[in-house]
Amino acid sequence: MPPALPRSLLLRLYLAASSRAGGIARRWLDRRCADGKEDAARLPERMGEASQPRPDGPLIWFHAASVGEAASLLEMLRRLGQARPGLTCLVTTGTVTSAQFLADRLPENCLHQFSPIDVLPWVRRFLDHWQPDAAVFTESEMWPATLCEAHARGIPLLLINARISNRSFRRWRIMGGMARSLLARYERILAQDTLAGEQLAALGADPATLTVAGSLKEGAAPLPYDEAERAKMSRAFAGRHLWLAASTHPGEEEIVLGAHLRARPAMPLLSLLLVPRHPTRGDEVAALVRARGLTVAQRSKGEPVTADTDVYLADTLGEMGLWYRIAPVSFIGGSLADVGGHNPFEPALLGSAILFGPHVRNFIDGYRRLELADAAVLVRTEVELADAVVATLPPDRAAEMAAAAWAACSEGAEVTDAVLDAVGTLLDRPRLA
């Protein structure tokens, strides 16, 4: 018999509310659908209604919130399919962009569905259909109704790449025993860094189930790209000094553009490749570029790079593998704005030196290791960013940093191995009824 779980009055109240929340959740989904944030054709999936039959044989359920988390799973899913040919991997995500990203990237042994909203009847409908033999959640996914219902059915639960934002950490601490009760339902928790491990332990995770394994994103395969587009864009920027500002957020584009203007006197042929985190902000960012007196070509509108183009605005989705390959130096956004930083291993694996701001708590160990390896440079201001661009763009320096970044990421396969071992243990062990 499994050990008794920690009790939580707040959790019991949540589950009672969840069992009756279908009407409210449906209206919320309708509003999101009207705003283009849901796929209308697949809306029933968000209510637990499957759009595909369950294949015969063993099935493991992987849940990833959005694009970044889903991308981190791809290499592991590929290797898992090779190791277990009869296994089906059901991958769920919660955003339209993640579904688009996975559409032509999932290995053959995988299916995609939108995740059900955490409404108890919808979760039960989902689990009744798919009947997973194990469930694996990524990063910070702790949906109470989903976890409790899966655990009640004896489905082994694993949390991988675990991390928690400072805001979520404070919120869960206020909820007292609810976090401890939910964490107790995971049989294994693999934290992505020491800070995440400490925070999860403080919330009540059992030290016997908690391991700091590193970030699965280190072991991910290099991002895909279109070779014809790479050759085309390389020709377009031939003879120029090109740097990339990737996954930028509001407030960061102004700093990036200011740094670009400051760096140009030292590098008159300097060009900026600007990729906002959310492509829907393309027109807004283009207006910021023009307000600085710079010329901009907008990729979403098919505008070509010309001799007069100062900034190429890549307001598209799923092309980061292309941009990291053609840019010798990349500033990674979400780090000057207090967002928590974005994945530094993607550029590191593709030969790009890395610049980053101080707000990188989501990947703090990774950035620290890259900085210590002389593969990344911390910048705090517009002036520091401009100076770093000028200092790192010379070919010998950029190549030196890129080689150091690749070497620092070579340990990532060990993280994937650790996750695969944990997944295999869950699949091979008899389920508890």
- pLDDT (0 to 100) of residue 412: 60
Q: Which architecture characterizes domain 9-213 according to CATH?
A: 3-Layer(aba) Sandwich (3.40)
| Tens digits of residue pLDDT in 347-366 | 988 889 999 999 998 888 78
Query: Which residues have a Cβ under 8 Å from the Cβ of 84 and sit 6 or more positions away?
Result: 58, 427
Pick from 202, 203, 164: nearest CA to 340: 164
8 A C-beta contact, residue 259 and residue 385: yes
Pick from 220, 222, 350, 331: nearest CA to 275: 331
Range scoring the smallest mean pLDDT among 47-61, 136-150, 231-245, 400-414: 400-414
Q: What is the mean pLDDT of residues 389-411?
A: 88
Q: What is the mean pLDDT of residues 110-116?
A: 96
Q: What is the mean pLDDT of residues 66-74?
A: 83
Put simply, whether the predicted model's pTM sits higher than 0.75 gets the answer no
| Tens digits of residue pLDDT in 300-322 | 999 999 999 999 999 998 899 99
In the predicted model, is pLDDT for residue 218 greater than 90? no
Range scoring the smallest mean pLDDT among 21-35, 81-95, 165-179, 244-258: 165-179
| Tens digits of residue pLDDT in 134-164 | 999 998 778 999 999 999 999 999 999 898 8
Mean pLDDT across the chain: 91
More confident residue, 323 or 224: 323
Q: What is the mean pLDDT of residues 382-391?
A: 98
What CATH number is given for 227-410 in this structure? 3.40.50.2000
- pLDDT (0 to 100) of residue 388: 98
| Angle ∠(84,89,93) on CA atoms, nearest 5 | 155
Distance CA(199)–CA(124), nearest Å, equals: 30
φ, ψ for residue 39 (rounded to 5)? -90, 110
Q: Strands 241-248, 329-332: parallel, antiparallel or unpaired by DSSP?
A: parallel
- pLDDT (0 to 100) of residue 410: 65
Hey, which residues are catalytic here?
69
| Tens digits of residue pLDDT in 245-300 | 999 999 999 999 999 999 999 999 999 999 999 999 999 999 999 999 999 999 99
Query: Which residues have a Cβ under 8 Å from the Cβ of 245 and sit 6 or more positions away?
Result: 252, 253, 256, 272, 273, 274, 275, 330, 331, 333
The string of DSSP letters for 300-343 reads GGTPPP-TT-SEEE---SS-HHHHHHH-SEEEESSTTTTS----
pLDDT level of residue 2 (50, 70, 90 thresholds):
very low
Domain ranges of the chain: 9-213, 227-410
Q: What is the mean pLDDT of residues 172-192?
A: 90
Output b/e per residue, 11-35; b: 16+ Cβ within 10 A.
beebbeebeebeeebeeebeeeeee
- pLDDT (0 to 100) of residue 4: 59
- Token pair belonging to 299: 């990729």
In the predicted model, is pLDDT for residue 1 greater than 50? no
Pick from 184, 183, 177, 124: nearest CA to 150: 124
φ, ψ for residue 110 (rounded to 5)? -115, 150
Domains 9-213 and 227-410 share a fold: yes
Which H or E run contains 425?
helix 412-428
8 A C-beta contact, residue 160 and residue 197: no
